[in-house]
Structure 1
Amino acid sequence: MGIKMNEIKSESYITKIIEETGLNRKEIQDLVKEKKQELKGLISDEGALFIIAKELGVDVKTENKELMGDLDINISDITREMKNITLVGRIKDIFRVYEFDKKEGKKGYVGSFLLNDNTGDIRVVLWDDDVAIFQDNNFVKGEIVKVINAYPKEGRDGNLEVHIGRLGKVVISPEDVDYKKYPKIKDEPIPIEEVNPNLLSVSIEGKIMTKFPIKEFTKQSGENGRICNIIVRDSSNKIRVNFWNDSVDEIKKYEVGDVISIKNLKPRESNYRPNTIELNANNYTQVEKLNKKLHFKTEMVETIRALQEEEDLISFKGVITSIDNLKQITTNSGEEISLLNFIVSDDTDAIRVTAWRDLAEDLAKKLSTGDAYEFKNVIVKYNSFSGRKEITYSGDSSVAGADIQFSQLKSMESLNKGRDESFSRDFTKIEDINSPGFYEIKGFIAKPITNVNIYEACSKCYKKIDNCICDEQTDTEFRMILNLTIDDESGTIRATFIGESAEKLLNMKTDLVKKIKETPDYEKLLEKISTELAGKDIYVKGKAKFSDYTGSYEIMARDIKNIDISKDLEDKLKKIAT
């Protein structure tokens, strides 16, 4: 049998490496084995020798120019340990070129693009003179390029990306590539329901349903940061999009109701909303307002009881059995806004509906107790405070009179059934609390929660460890403290919740809050809590004492109870009748 050509080439590489480095044959064979393991067996012996020679500074290009073709690998096979790799794919996205100052005082440049083959996407980063390719008229989305002599590196977002080395380059429209292997890229947004964490970069289109105020925070490094969250909906679903730091400027000029296109977003699973995907903007994210309208088709849910099994956008019918007073509450940003709660019932169940801002003011004028209505495009979501699904009336919602009748209307059952005995219902007006003692008050939560304090306490006396005076050492536990402002229209009072009462109020365990507080998602948790609690009617039972700091009486909560406003109204009518 004759000697194969690849064996001749391999032997010539080994000979040249021995001559120029002094390594022996056994050492070279060991290096070949390691290199093939590093590249997951995707390369031949001669290919491994070619790479080893290059890493050792031995020039073997003249030995076999065709061998470069063996070094092409799939994007999905790239690992952090690889070196001098060659990739082929289509340009999926092109990002901006940034200018920066180098340490030596010179100007530096960095740009990147997203490369796609039939196995995945990866960001390709170019520096300084190499960014000139971005000015080439042929360097466009969808074009096939060959990336030569690149090396993998972990990017700022934690994902693997490839950088062009000193001797590397990007070849536009390479001739030695089978174009059929690389399908054309459709530059289209994907439905929100198809977003998943395995996608490196996604683009979506949808309507801004909610836009939260821009918040500033301090990073662990001590630097200041910014965040702005929006909720975007398309015909398939909705999703939260987070804009951080410099990317906040991309969303500033857009408002609720705008239909927008957002390109280059990174999906990830929410840190404190299990099984929920969020999208994160970055320096490459692009936002554009679209001149189109979106219409959402929603299912008509037949009974109010069935709403407890629903999620997201729906339509339903019912009779308004009670309407709360229009309230003014303060948001986290300090904005004074209107809030309206009312109860809608049928013969199966009842449900609370909440409207905000101008929508609340409009509905307060339009709705009447005892009338039947059809509510379209309202949002069903779980409220951890009440333990039930509730309805939010949004900008895309509508209401119209309905021709329906029920023989008997259900009232919403108390969420704390079985605990009524802990409240005497002998309530004191807040303005009348002017001495120490135990009081029961009822009112609504008027201001957002801006912080949740957690301290390490003695498990016996519940005092902070530094203040513990127990005779013997005991175990410790973490306890929550939070403060609310309660308004009963006669006045306001600060209510403090500690330990179990705080956990009951938030419907969250201290350990979970503590974990989230140590992450960047803490601000979002406060936002979620404030949204759920703002304007809620509650009973509070506790001990009042005078605060020298605020110059007024405050109440230390011992127990709380969510108010069923329809039942509360019924009790009032009975009292009047007697």
Structure 2
Amino acid sequence: MTDIESIYEKLSHVISKEDFLQRVQEKVESMGGLCDEPMAAMLVANELGFSDVGRDSVKIENITAESGQINFVAKVVSVFETKEFTRNDGTIGRVGNIIVGDETGKIRLTLWDNMADLIKAGKIIAGQTLQISGYAKQGYSGVEVNVGNNGVLAESEEEIDVAANNQKIKDIKDGMGDLNLTGKVLEISDVRTFQRKDGTSGKVGNLLLGDSTGTVRVTLWDDRTEFLNQIEYGDTVELVNAYARENAFTQKVELQVGNRSIIKKSEKKVEYEEKFTPIEDIKADMNNINVSGRILDIGEIRTFEKKDGSTGRVGNLLLGDSTGKIRLTLWDEKTSFLDEVDFDETIEVLHAYSRENAFNQQVELNLGNRGIIQKSEKEIEYREKFTDIADIIPGESYSVQGKVSEIGELREFEREDGTENVVANLQLKDETGSIRLTLWGEQAYVIEDLDIDSEIQIINAYAKYGLNEEIELSIGNRSRVIML
């Protein structure tokens, strides 16, 4: 390192040697042991406007894994906790990390032993400007600078503006590190535990974040997963020093938040608007579907036993918009929403997935614990689409309207499980033809309020072959009968 005499030679025309040496000594004392006299001399020179008296100072954007020993000035952006580890010779080492930046970018510093102790002692804080001397190399998440006992970390009074390099989601690529991002919480997963190869237990959880350019899944590990209990849908979250990896299963790039990253709630406003899919565009096996619709039908909540012996709950809604209608199945805790809504109310369903019903081959929506269902103030236009009786074919669900031409009797019968039920039949006609209606359970009692030529609408009845292989409509608890 350049000695004090050679540094002063470059400053002799602006300051006396006595004043220079006095300021060097004051700098050493004020730093509390953070730097030696040569480094203090360089800092004094910087304060006097001479930043090139020592080793050439570089900008962060020019630091590469091949730069080797470097000297630069940067502002502390983030400080992380130190850790202890055992070396091969049995001695205990200490390591810590900080993120520093200048007007050209940001970079990670890895501090070892005595330098790491400065973090624990509180002598390195965010917002502080440092004169840094260390060794550049390729780290796990990109180029980093190692500062050991032979390196230099000294406080500087130089004003440094840190580049604002918040990424947009659309710009994130696999392998990127030191990522800073602000996004809106769209989805929060449960925390799962797993066993590592070394036998220890780990924890993992996920967030889905969105900004004006797209969405990205964020994975949190171990202690970081506790953050998931502190946030809710719609919150703004800020990530510092995350890194991007491609999910081997989905082939989608995700962000990882480990012990070197920071995740926190933010008051920043994030522009994000959910994209809603018209019901007619929903196909089987789609994921992350958002839909708005009016409630056309509300099913009962049923309980069942899961494979692990626990009790599950399931319920259904029928939703409609201007393009069509679809059945939504709610699972477990989500079923409580059915007690909070009524017919014709508008709701939003976020992050649902679609599957084909094996029984009726109809595409349906499912909402699990990652999805969101909520009331909405949107005005949703829905008009039931009625099918002419002549156009009905088996294996589909239909809505029809017409006049009652025959009314059967209410009959009781015993199911295979020993419980009792009721059934009744009607004959319905329109201008194109006539069809038999079979009404089950509570629906059967509607015949008590009907007369010949009563006009009715049947919503969501299932067409199948009945007696004599003639097509009939089956009206169960998923159907509605409306008297006009």
Are the structure 2 counterparts of residues 398 and 75 from structure 1 closer, same or farther at C-alpha, using a change threshold of 3 Å?
Answer: same
Does residue 131 in structure 1 map to residue 98 in structure 2?
A: no
* Structure with the larger helix share: 1
Equivalent residue for 2:227? 251
Equivalent residue for 1:406? 383
Query: In the aligned structure 1, how far is the partner of 2:100 from the partner of 2:306?
Result: 47
Equivalent residue for 1:171? 154
Shift, 1:68, TM fit: 4.8
Query: Matches of residues 30-49 of structure 1 in structure 2 within 5 Å?
Result: none
Task: Indicate if the aligned counterparts of 2:322 and 2:383 stay in contact, CA closer than 8 A.
Answer: yes
* Structure with the larger strand share: 2
Are the structure 2 counterparts of residues 77 and 215 from structure 1 closer, same or farther at C-alpha, using a change threshold of 3 Å?
Answer: same
Equivalent residue for 2:207? 231
Task: Indicate if the aligned counterparts of 1:259 and 1:292 stay in contact, CA closer than 8 A.
Answer: no
Residue aligned with 2:151, SS: strand
Query: Matches of residues 183-222 of structure 1 in structure 2 within 5 Å?
Result: 183-184=161-162, 197=174, 198-204=176-182, 206-207=184-185, 209-219=187-197, 222=198
Does residue 149 in structure 1 map to residue 134 in structure 2?
A: yes
If the length of structure 1 is used for normalisation, what is the TM-score? 0.47
Are the structure 2 counterparts of residues 215 and 335 from structure 1 closer, same or farther at C-alpha, using a change threshold of 3 Å?
Answer: farther
Equivalent residue for 1:117? 102
Query: In the aligned structure 2, how far is the partner of 1:571 from the partner of 1:210?
Result: 42
Query: Matches of residues 219-298 of structure 1 in structure 2 within 5 Å?
Result: 219=197, 222-233=198-209, 236=212, 238-248=215-225, 250-251=226-227, 253-254=229-230, 256=232, 259=235, 261=237, 263-264=239-240, 265-274=242-251, 276-288=252-264
Query: Matches of residues 325-340 of structure 1 in structure 2 within 5 Å?
Result: 326-328=302-304, 330=306, 336-340=311-315
Shift, 1:95, TM fit: 1.0
Does residue 362 in structure 1 map to residue 362 in structure 2?
A: no
Q: 1:432-475: per-residue Cα shift (whole Å, max 9, x none)?
A: xxxxxxxxxxxxxxxxxxxxxxxxxxxxxxxxxxxxxxxxxxxx
Task: Indicate if the aligned counterparts of 1:92 and 1:114 stay in contact, CA closer than 8 A.
Answer: yes
Residue aligned with 1:85, SS: strand
Are the structure 2 counterparts of residues 229 and 331 from structure 1 closer, same or farther at C-alpha, using a change threshold of 3 Å?
Answer: farther
Q: 1:491-531: per-residue Cα shift (whole Å, max 9, x none)?
A: xxxxxxxxxxxxxxxxxxxxxxxxxxxxxxxxxxxxxxxxx
* Paired residue type of 1:354: T
Shift, 1:256, TM fit: 5.0
Query: In the aligned structure 2, how far is the partner of 1:575 from the partner of 1:568?
Result: 6
Task: Indicate if the aligned counterparts of 1:150 and 1:162 stay in contact, CA closer than 8 A.
Answer: yes
Gaps of 5+ in 2: 1-50, 397-414, 418-458, 467-471, 476-484
Query: In the aligned structure 1, how far is the partner of 2:281 from the partner of 2:207?
Result: 25
Shift, 1:100, TM fit: 3.3
Residue aligned with 2:338, SS: helix
If the length of structure 2 is used for normalisation, what is the TM-score? 0.55
* Paired residue type of 1:379: L
Q: 1:172-202: per-residue Cα shift (whole Å, max 9, x none)?
A: 2166xxx5xx53356x987766755535232
* Paired residue type of 2:73: V
Q: 1:73-104: per-residue Cα shift (whole Å, max 9, x none)?
A: 5445402x442233433322111112334455
Q: 1:101-129: per-residue Cα shift (whole Å, max 9, x none)?
A: 44555442211111223443321101111
Equivalent residue for 1:349? 324
Query: In the aligned structure 2, how far is the partner of 1:147 from the partner of 1:269?
Result: 34
Query: In the aligned structure 2, how far is the partner of 1:331 from the partner of 1:207?
Result: 32
* Paired residue type of 1:112: N
Residue aligned with 1:251, SS: helix
Structure number with greater Rg is 2
Query: In the aligned structure 2, how far is the partner of 1:241 from the partner of 1:115?
Result: 24
Are the structure 2 counterparts of residues 403 and 244 from structure 1 closer, same or farther at C-alpha, using a change threshold of 3 Å?
Answer: closer
- My pick for the range that moved more, 385-394 or 142-151, is 385-394
Q: 1:381-409: per-residue Cα shift (whole Å, max 9, x none)?
A: 55477897946484462157978552515
Task: Indicate if the aligned counterparts of 2:351 and 2:372 stay in contact, CA closer than 8 A.
Answer: no
Does residue 70 in structure 1 map to residue 48 in structure 2?
A: no
Are the structure 2 counterparts of residues 96 and 231 from structure 1 closer, same or farther at C-alpha, using a change threshold of 3 Å?
Answer: same
Query: In the aligned structure 2, how far is the partner of 1:385 from the partner of 1:173?
Result: 65
Query: In the aligned structure 1, how far is the partner of 2:315 from the partner of 2:62?
Result: 52
* Paired residue type of 2:375: S
Q: 1:522-557: per-residue Cα shift (whole Å, max 9, x none)?
A: xxxxxxxxxxxxxxxxxxxxxxxxxxxxxxxxxxxx
Task: Indicate if the aligned counterparts of 1:381 and 1:389 stay in contact, CA closer than 8 A.
Answer: no
Are the structure 2 counterparts of residues 396 and 576 from structure 1 closer, same or farther at C-alpha, using a change threshold of 3 Å?
Answer: closer
Are the structure 2 counterparts of residues 575 and 296 from structure 1 closer, same or farther at C-alpha, using a change threshold of 3 Å?
Answer: same
Gaps of 5+ in 1: 1-64, 418-428, 432-565
Superposition RMSD in Å: 4.9
